[in-house]
């Protein structure tokens, strides 16, 4: 892979970074360009050669950057960053997941099911409403 330069290779000895783009080799002005879309670095050949493992053309014919690959990598990085952000939770979910005190069980039941099963639930609700307001 072009991102991983093998140790003791021509690339690391010369402090070069392998190209990542498509091959621009053309035999003539009218001939189409080489169909190779990405420079491929063979780990065994990398010690002595600058040739692409895909098309056997010299690395100098390949573009250094690959915009399509960069776009995919950027998209993946953005998705990872979005996955790491905490999601906002509702009051009901927080009460349920954090584990409420035994006195609040009826209040949670009222929030979840929408009904108060006892007078204690009404008292807890009044207590919550006055403390928050």
Domain span at residue 118 reads: 91-126
According to the model, what pLDDT value does residue 120 have?
Answer: 57
Average pLDDT over residues 15-33: 84
61 and 95, same domain (yes or no): no
5 and 47, same domain (yes or no): yes
CA distance 2 to 19: 7
CA distance 28 to 13: 34
Higher-confidence residue of 19 and 97: namely: 19
36-58, pLDDT tens digit by residue? Answer: 888 888 777 777 888 888 888 88
pTM: 0.48
72-100, pLDDT tens digit by residue? Answer: 989 999 988 887 766 666 777 776 777 65
Q: What percent of the chain has pLDDT over 70?
A: 65
When divided into structural domains, the chain yields a total of 2
3-state secondary structure 34-81: CCCCCCCCCCCHHHCCCECCCCCCEHHHECCCCHHHHHHHHHHHHHHH
Structure-block tokens of residue 56: 């056997």
According to the model, what pLDDT value does residue 1 have?
Answer: 43
Backbone angles phi, psi at 23, to 5 degrees: -85, 135
61 and 97, same domain (yes or no): no
- Structure confidence at residue 2 as a pLDDT band (50, 70, 90): very low
According to the model, what pLDDT value does residue 74 have?
Answer: 92
Predicted confidence (pLDDT) at residue 126 exceeds the cutoff of 70: no
60 and 98, same domain (yes or no): no
Mean pLDDT over each residue of the chain, to the nearest integer: 75
According to the model, what pLDDT value does residue 67 have?
Answer: 87
């Amino acid at each position: 892979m072009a991102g991983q330069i093998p140790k003791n290779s021509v690339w690391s000895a010369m402090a070069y970074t392998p190209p990542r783009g498509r091959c621009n080799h053309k035999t003539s002005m009218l001939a189409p360009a080489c169909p190779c879309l990405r420079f491929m670095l063979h780990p065994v050949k990398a010690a002595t050669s600058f040739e692409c493992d895909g098309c056997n053309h010299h690395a100098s014919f390949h573009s250094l950057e690959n915009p399509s690959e960069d776009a995919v990598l950027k998209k993946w990085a953005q998705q990872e960053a979005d996955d790491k952000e905490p999601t906002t939770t509702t009051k009901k979910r927080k009460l349920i997941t954090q584990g409420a005190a035994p006195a609040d069980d009826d209040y949670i039941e009222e929030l979840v099911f929408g009904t108060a099963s006892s007078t204690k639930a009404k008292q807890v609700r009044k207590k919550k409403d006055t403390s928050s307001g």
